[in-house]
Amino acid sequence: MFNLILFGPPGSGKGTQSDKLVGKYGLIHLSTGNLLREEIAEKTPLGIEAKSLMDKGQLVPDEVVIGMIDSSLEHHKDAKGFLFDGFPRTIAQARALDKLLELKKTGINTVISLDVGEEELIQRLLNRGKTSGRSDDTDEIVIRKRFAVYNNETTPVAEYYKKARKFQSVKGEGTVDEIFETLCRVMDKKMKQ
Ligand code: B4P
């Protein structure tokens, strides 16, 4: 199995690059953002609770997203690997993921972080907001709140994987194809190790 975490701030291109990477490497794409938006679209109790938090730029409780990942892993027992996109976002989520993978006798192979400057991120998210209908992308105050949450709660996750010597950063600015090429170079190297 090969398990990758694509890491980075909101709007850094995790979703965009994940779609391309899973096509090339045959991994199962697990995006907690997408899973939550599906719950919202179906108006489930979980979705209704998640929407009120996401609209304010806050994180959904750890136990909710960990539960979603647990059932997705169970659902794809024969996968040759997973690409985790937007998860883990807290230390508690990172620890829970390690435990879940350990139970399946596997682990995280590598974490690749997309580095993008804050002003570029804001422009990307506001642009997406014009067409996506995502309420967390239309208001600059909410976007800035998401960055604050990222800096406070998610950047410690980078330290967690740095300590485990699994963390690597790549430049996340440039065209989508240029960034994809860089990611593929890193992936090809890691898969040979
Ligand atoms: P997510 O759905 O994970 O999304 P994201 O961080 O906003 O975006 P991403 O980095 O995937 O950007 P994308 O490729 O789309 O999170 C949304 C919310 O869900 C969170 O705020 C939180 O509330 C909740 N949530 C999710 N996971 C959670 C968890 N584990 N725990 C708790 N809460 C959780 O790119 C953004 C835009 O940039 C797109 O429009 C794209 O077209 C554009 N773009 C991409 N690459 C580009 C490039 N190279 N140049 C120019 N534009 C580019």
107-124 b/e with 16+ CB inside 10 Å = b?
A: ebbbbbbbebeeeebbeb
* Residues in the ligand 1 pocket, defined by CB under 6 Å: 8, 10-16, 32-33, 36, 53-54, 59-60, 65, 86-87, 89, 93, 124, 127-128, 136, 146, 175-176, 179
The pLDDT of residue 60 is 98
Measured in Å, residue 42 CA sits from the centre of ligand 1 at 20
Q: What is the mean pLDDT of residues 70-76?
A: 95
Backbone phi, then psi, for 171, in 5-degree steps? -70, 125
Q: Residue 193 pLDDT more than 90?
A: no
Q: Which residue has the tokens 């690597």?
A: 168
Q: Which of 83, 90, 81, 19 is nearest to 60 (CA)?
A: 90
Round the average pLDDT of the chain to a whole number and report it: 96
Q: What is the pTM of this model?
A: 0.94
Of 32, 38, 62, 119, the one to substitute when testing ligand 1's pocket (max ligand atoms within 8 A of C-beta) is 32
| Residue whose structure tokens are 């997705």 | 72
Domains belonging to the chain, first-starting first, are 2-192 (3.40.50.300)
